[in-house]
Amino acid sequence: MVRLPFLSSTRSVPEASKVPRHIAIIMDGNGRWARKRLMPRVAGHAKGVDSLREVIRSCLDRGVEYLTVFAFSSENWRRPKDEVSFLMQLFVKSLKAEIDRIHRNEIRLRVVGDLTPFDEALVSLIRDGEALTAGNGKMNLTICANYGGRWDIMQAVEKMMAASSTSGGRPYSEEDLAPHLALSFSPEPDLFIRTGGEQRISNFMLWQLAYSELYFTDKLWPEFGEAALGEAIASYQGRERRFGRTSEQLVSDKPDTTSDHA
Ligand code: IPE
Ligand code: IPE
Ligand code: MG
């Protein structure tokens, strides 16, 4: 059986730390931010890059180990052609402009999603950035691009079936699937944040959000920054993470890392 480096929240009780170890963000509301200012929607995307820079800085300062952001969903291709092409160009431009800063700050960059429809130039920029920062260990920044939670589960199932010797005829388990998920290098998110007021998951990290604390804010992504992140973390710190247990058990139990039902 392939052993994952991280505990699954449904197979055992992970340790919950004060500072979320992994924060996952749906950066939403760029278009509305711009329209409110009578600017084209894409101006909101450009401004959103500044918010991302500030949030990365703040996560670094706070000792967050994994930051995963949703930049482009598998459904965002449905948008007007011009907006999609602006987003692709912005991705290229921002990667070029920021990669040195990312590296200097000892951040490891990964881009997760189905990259096949992307421009060759963008894909090679991504691969170069990943290679450059592969040895960095201060924080893991993951950008989800042409990513969808269902895509991830389906591609993982395909890989699991291809490696079907792992099952050896017994029923498949979480442990067989999980190593093939695109985000298998990270623990599950402790804190999920969605800006922009919508209270939905929009096909983001469907598998991994099983026991994440969900935080929704009306703040639009271009106005989200250090202070707003602090509020989200404060809300997280006030939550009781029970992972299926009772409140009473939490008082008496130490975080339990043994498997529940193995
Ligand atoms: C999020 O902002 C960015 C992407 C989806 C690429 P939106 O563009 O969805 O902004 P709103 O939700 O229309 O305001
Ligand atoms: C989710 O936002 C995707 C990203 C932020 C990249 P959307 O704006 O696409 O989500 P819906 O369409 O409102 O659900
Ligand atoms: Mg939106």
* pLDDT per residue as tens digits for the range 142-195: 999 999 999 999 999 999 999 876 667 788 999 999 999 999 999 999 999 999
Q: Is the CB of 70 under 6 A from ligand 2?
A: yes
Locate the ligand 2 atom nearest the alpha carbon of residue 28 and give its number.
5
Q: Say if residue 117 is exposed, middle or buried (CB neighbours under 10 Å; 0-12, 13-18, 19+).
A: exposed
* Pure H helices in 188-244: 226-237
**Domain ranges across the chain:** 22-253
Calculate what percentage of the chain has a pLDDT beyond 70. 93
In the residue annotation, 256 being an active-site residue is answered as no
Mean local confidence (pLDDT), 104-118? 98
Question: What residue owns the CA closest to ligand 1's atom 13?
Answer: 31
Selection from 177, 172, 175, 174 nearest residue 160 by Cα: 177
Residue showing tokens 């498997």: 259
Q: Is the CB of 145 under 6 A from ligand 2?
A: no
Question: What residue owns the CA closest to ligand 2's atom 12?
Answer: 202
Q: Is the CB of 107 under 6 A from ligand 2?
A: no
Contact yes or no for 84/77 (Cβ under 8 A): yes
Q: Is the pLDDT of residue 82 over 90?
A: yes
pTM higher than the cut 0.85: yes
pLDDT of residue 262: 45
Question: What are the backbone dihedrals phi and psi of residue 142, each rounded to the nearest 5 degrees, phi first?
Answer: -120, 125
Q: How far does the centroid of ligand 2 lie from the alpha carbon of residue 29, in Å?
A: 8
pLDDT band at 1 (very low <50, low <70, confident <90, very high): very low
- First-residue to last-residue Cα distance in the chain: 13
One DSSP character per residue, 206-222 reads TTTTTTPEEEE-SS-GG
Q: Is the CB of 26 under 6 A from ligand 2?
A: yes
CA distance 17 to 3: 23
CATH 3.40.1180.10 fits 22-253, yes or no: yes
pLDDT band at 47 (very low <50, low <70, confident <90, very high): very high
pLDDT of residue 190: 97
Q: How far does the centroid of ligand 2 lie from the alpha carbon of residue 141, in Å?
A: 20
CA distance 29 to 70: 12
Locate the ligand 2 atom nearest the alpha carbon of residue 198 and give its number.
13
Q: How far does the centroid of ligand 2 lie from the alpha carbon of residue 31, in Å?
A: 11
CA distance 215 to 197: 10
pLDDT of residue 210: 97
In the residue annotation, 146 being an active-site residue is answered as no
Q: How far does the centroid of ligand 2 lie from the alpha carbon of residue 197, in Å?
A: 11
pLDDT of residue 128: 98
Question: What residue owns the CA closest to ligand 1's atom 12?
Answer: 29
Mean local confidence (pLDDT), 202-207? 98
